[in-house]
Structures are given as C-alpha cells and as structure tokens.
C-alpha cells in the first residue's frame, strides 16, 4: 500500500481521518459480563437492605416495647396523676380511675400497638 506524504495544509484532516478510522478492540463479552456484575451487586445490595430492615424490626419489636413498659412502670405516681388529668382535660371528661389502672391500660395499649405494627411491617416486608 502506498502512503503518500501529507500536504501540511491537510495535516489536521489526515490526523483526524487516521484517528477516526482506527478501530478500538473491546472484548466481545465485556457488556454482558458487566451487566451480570451489576445484577449481582444490586441483588447483594437488596439482600443487605432486607437484612437490615429485619434487624431494625426485631429491635423495634423487642427493645421498644420493653423500654416503654419500663418507662411506664417507673413513672412517678405524681406524673401519672398529672398525665391522667391532662388526658382528661384533652377529652373534656374526667376519668375517675386511679392512676394504677391507667398505668395498666397504657402498658396494654402500647404493647398491642407495637405488636400490630410489628405484624403489619413483617407482612409488608414479606410481600
């Protein structure tokens, strides 16, 4: 093949053509390998997210009720009485129940709400 000496004026055009015509060799399975890799990465990330959610849920279902029950048990009697009065004020009706009865109800309501929340969240996670 004869290679002609370039005209200095055509040098840029020659350079441009020469570089544009050069083919870059890419491994034929490069795109497929990369696609498999990101699929694996995304799968691993999704799995890690589910595991993290499970741990959080477990912590919520065990630790939070315990903490709330502990708080409810150790609230001073005076505060409980005040709470009773506050609730009564909000609903414009006086509850003539002793503070200990309200404490029991509070524990039951909080535990039931958390249990329902836990069941609902685990249902959502599974689905």
The answer to the question of residue 37 lying near another protein (CB under 8 A) is yes
18 or 98: CB nearest another protein: 18
The answer to the question of residue 25 lying near another protein (CB under 8 A) is yes
Q: What is the 3-state secondary structure (H, E, C) of the chain?
A: CCCCCCCHHHHHHHHHHHHHHCCCCCCCCHHHHHHHHHHHHHHHHHHHHHHHHHHHHHHHHHHHHHHHHHHHHHCCHHHHHHHHHHHHHHCCCCCCCCHHHHHHHHHHHHHHHHHHHHHHHHHHHHC
Nearest distance from residue 35's CB to another protein, in Å? 5
Q: Which stretch binds another protein (CB under 8 A): 32-40, 67-75, 97-105, 118-126?
A: 32-40
Q: Which stretch binds another protein (CB under 8 A): 17-25, 66-74, 80-88, 91-99?
A: 17-25
**Dihedral sign of CA atoms 94, 95, 96, 100 in order:** negative
Q: Which stretch binds another protein (CB under 8 A): 38-46, 48-56, 68-76, 94-102?
A: 38-46
State the residues that interact with another protein by CB under 8 A.
1-6, 8, 11-12, 14-22, 24-27, 30-35, 37-39, 41-42
């Amino acid at each position: 093949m004869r290679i002609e000496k370039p005209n200095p004026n055509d040098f840029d055009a020659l350079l441009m053509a020469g570089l544009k015509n050069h083919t870059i060799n890419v491994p034929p399975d490069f795109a497929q390998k990369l696609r498999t890799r990101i699929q694996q990465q995304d799968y691993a990330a999704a799995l890690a997210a589910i595991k993290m959610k499970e741990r959080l849920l477990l912590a919520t279902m065990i630790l939070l009720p315990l903490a709330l029950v502990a708080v409810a048990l150790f609230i001073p009697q005076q505060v409980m009485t005040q709470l009773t009065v506050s609730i009564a004020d909000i609903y414009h009706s006086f509850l003539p129940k002793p503070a200990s009865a309200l404490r029991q109800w509070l524990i039951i309501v909080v535990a039931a709400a958390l249990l329902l929340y836990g069941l609902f969240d685990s249902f959502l996670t599974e689905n």
